[in-house]
Amino acid sequence: MELLTTIRNTVLEKMEQDAVNLFSTVTDLRAFICATRPAPSVIVTVKLCCLTSERLAGCCGTRVTCMNRLKCIGFDEEQGSMRALELPALNARIAKVVVWDDTKPHTVHQANMDFRPGGVYEFHRVAYVGLNDGIATGAVQYDCEDTSKVCEVSPPITRHYL
pTM: 0.77
Q: Domain map of the chain by residue range?
A: 20-154
Query: Domain 20-154, what architecture?
Result: Beta Barrel (2.40)
Closest CA to 70 of 142, 157, 135, 136: 157
Q: Which residues contact 40 (CB under 8 A, 6 or more apart)?
A: 127, 128
| DSSP single-letter state for residue 42 | -
- Distance between CA atoms of residues 97 and 58, nearest Å: 17
The pLDDT, as a whole number, for residue 84 is 60
The amino acid sitting at 66 is C
Mean pLDDT of the chain: 81
The amino acid sitting at 13 is E
* pLDDT band at residue 43 using 50, 70 and 90 as cut-offs: confident
Report angle CA 1, 125, 15 to the nearest 5 degrees. 40
Q: Does residue 138 surpass a pLDDT of 90?
A: yes
